[in-house]
Chain A
């Protein structure tokens, strides 16, 4: 293959993505693009997002048709500089062999289980960079909440994403459903995997757990990045929490999930189905209830951590969607004095997903 011909392929966002649908071309034939420019929009079963240019060049061929589903790695467009003749591109295309779909090898190896004192914990590991990131999801979430971040950062870092107890495919019982108990789980995970220190990245309740972990073992935490974090103020949208726990059907849960995003159309069928698959496991609604009754006791957040965290001196990056309906963005005010605060416009509670490109750049810059 000529390195003068750059391929744009169907991306693989997260482990479970096998195909995606081209919904819109943002660029047209002949456009000149730079690295990072948005080329087209792709919708997966989980979420819709833009595909960015990995190379610079002129859009010479558009192969992916709108409203068509393509397997991951399918060639969607060709970028090349002006001086590359059409004949060379045609020659490339005539001999182009589509990549054979990998039969899930990567998926099997990335998801792993580890037995901790609390029980079996599932995690995923990607990349082998010098710095280590540990991603901790929020209430009712799982490690796939980070799919745009882990896929975007895996080439720079060693990344772990865990399913907390009561979540994802981890054990459905808690030893201690408090922030302290969850922080103990994170530390025991680090012990078991011989991770001496790491950068913690937490979303929502996972943000509070990250801070709590740092407070409990400051030497082992290099930095903390939180998205839409709990643990900074008293408010918590209990309608969402209670609705999420009690909803049994797609119809019931959809309006609650839509509260998570600025653009509620991001809540796709697959996202709903995946959450219901989790919620329907024996013990999950009870586990979520126990957790909520502990960390959001009486309808407010049981602990605020700003002062205790400040005392650790660990660098904190607090990112929050301005339109977060679960935990208000104003909660970040209490850390302004010592932390870097980034508020994303037109962004809801799932800021790490909704603005993954910006989020990844900030995470990368903040990690120690």
Chain B
């Protein structure tokens, strides 16, 4: 039975279902229950935004608050994964990756290859990404290009509650390390979500809107901006197709190229900084493989090459807007 569920609740439900199904699934992170060792309530927070609220009550010792010690607990999650567990480690804000990145990109990502195929590391590292929360430069980044660059990692960034649940369950069951990027400004977004467990395979883009005259490729929050732009453009008789990548590694370039071959125009939208971004990657690939189909130069709409600013006045300028996306398409269609 499908219910209208927020992305936050869909993520909670995905973890709950998998912890119930598979005793090797464990959850760890800072304040994911909250209240450990104190005199007050246990499960006081359920994560800083309450995403994991209630899971401690159901799964007790398999839901572990950690000390503020990212290298140690992220590494422990990876080590436990290499020893047969299926840990989900929450990094709270993925910006904190800086302090524990070695464990992720030098250890988890490389075990299988370095060890000649003889290791599996089924760990999920999930956390918040993205701007718009007035959380400033160290709590707002879209670091997806950084993770996507690393062979051995899989990188997922859902745009809606339905995809979030299916992709997270797939991440937990997947035998490779997965970086699961949750856009904090999408936690409240609602979608019809089946109550049952289901999986969405990696490397399959979604097409939330079909169209003939231009392709907008986006992921995460930017899918919504792209759809908003498409809505505006529809009133101008510009029929836009929106591709939601949702899985950045592996990436479904086939769907992007098919779409570009149909429309002849490509705008790639990325909340990340422009250099070596997902948008740059998509445009490079599409240009290489669908050059003859292009009727206009592809355009990347990204954040500027700056840290994320604090002031709302600046942050709103930083995040790619529907208006900028629509303008890019107009420029191509002219």
Name A residues whose Cβ lies closer than 8 Å to a Cβ of B: 65, 67-69, 113, 120, 122, 169, 172, 248-251, 269, 273, 277, 280-283
Q: Which of A67, A68, A113, A281 contacts B196 (CB 8 A)?
A: A281
- Whether B201 is near chain A, meaning CB under 8 Å from some CB there, is yes
Would A67 and B212 be within 8 Å (CB), given that A273-B206, A282-B196, A282-B197 are in contact? yes
- The residue on B at minimum CB distance from A69 is B234
Chain A residue with the shortest CB-CB distance to B210: A269
Given contacts A67-B212, A251-B254, A269-B207, contact A281 B1 (CB under 8 A): no
B254 CB, nearest partner CB in chain A, Å:
7
A235 CB to closest chain B CB (Å) equals 32
B199 nearest CB neighbor, chain A only: A280
Contacting pair B234 A280 (CB below 8 A): no
Q: Which residues from chain B contact A282 at a C-beta distance below 8 Å?
A: 196-199
B220 contacts the other chain (Cβ, under 8 Å)? Answer: no
Distance from B268 Cβ to chain A, minimum over Cβ atoms (Å)? 20
Contact of B2 among A169, A249, A269 (CB under 8 A): A169
Q: Within 8 Å of chain A (Cβ to Cβ): is B281? A: no
Given the complex, which residues of A lie within 8 Å of B162, measured CB to CB?
277
Hey, which chain B residues are within 8 Å of A65, CB to CB?
237
Q: Assuming A113-B1, A169-B1, A269-B210, is B198 touching A281 (CB within 8 A)?
A: yes
Asked if B298 is an interface residue, CB under 8 A from chain A, the answer is: no
How many chain B residues touch the partner (CB < 8 A)? 20
B95: chain A residues at CB < 8 Å are none
Please determine whether A172 and B207 come into contact, CB atoms closer than 8 angstroms. no
**B194 on interface, CB distance cutoff 8 Å:** yes
Q: Are A277's CB and B198's CB within 8 A?
A: yes
Asked whether, in the complex, the Cβ of B198 is within 8 Å of the Cβ of A67, the reply is: no
- Grouping DSSP codes into helix (H, G, I), strand (E, B) and loop, the B interface class, with mixed when no group exceeds half, is loop
- Give the distance to chain A from B306, nearest Cβ to Cβ, in Å: 37
The 0/1 profile, CB within 8 Å of A marked 1, for residues 229-266 of chain B is: 00000100101000000000000001000000000000
Would A248 and B198 be within 8 Å (CB), given that A67-B239, A113-B1 are in contact? no
Nearest-neighbour CB distance to chain A for B39, whole angstroms, equals 41
- CB-CB < 8 A to A251: which residues of B? 254
Contacts of B212 in A (CB 8 A): 67
Closest 7 CB pairs of A and B: A282-B197, A280-B198, A281-B198, A281-B196, A249-B204, A67-B239, A269-B207
**Bound Cα distance A67, B211 (Å):** 9
Q: Does B150 reach chain A (CB closer than 8 Å)?
A: no
Q: Are B196 and A172 in contact (CB under 8 A)?
A: yes
B85 at interface (Cβ–Cβ under 8 A)? no
Contact assessment for B254 and A281 in the assembled complex, using a CB-CB cutoff below 8 Å? no
Is B200 in the interface zone, CB < 8 Å from A?
yes
Decide if A281 touches B194 in the complex (CB within 8 Å).
yes
Complex A-B: 29 CB contacts under 8 Å: A65-B237, A67-B212, A67-B239, A68-B237, A69-B234, A113-B1, A120-B1, A122-B1, A169-B2, A169-B194, A248-B201, A249-B204, A250-B204, A269-B207, A269-B210, A273-B206, A277-B162, A277-B198, A280-B166, A280-B198, A280-B199, A280-B200, A281-B194, A281-B196, A281-B197, A281-B198, A282-B196, A282-B197, A283-B196
Bound CA–CA A336/B323 (angstroms): 63
CB distance from B204 to the nearest CB of A (A): 5
A249 to B196, CA, bound (A): 19
Q: Across the interface, which residues of B come within 8 angstroms of A69, CB to CB?
A: 234
Residues of B within 8 A of A120 (CB): 1
Cα distance A169–B196 when bound, in Å? 9
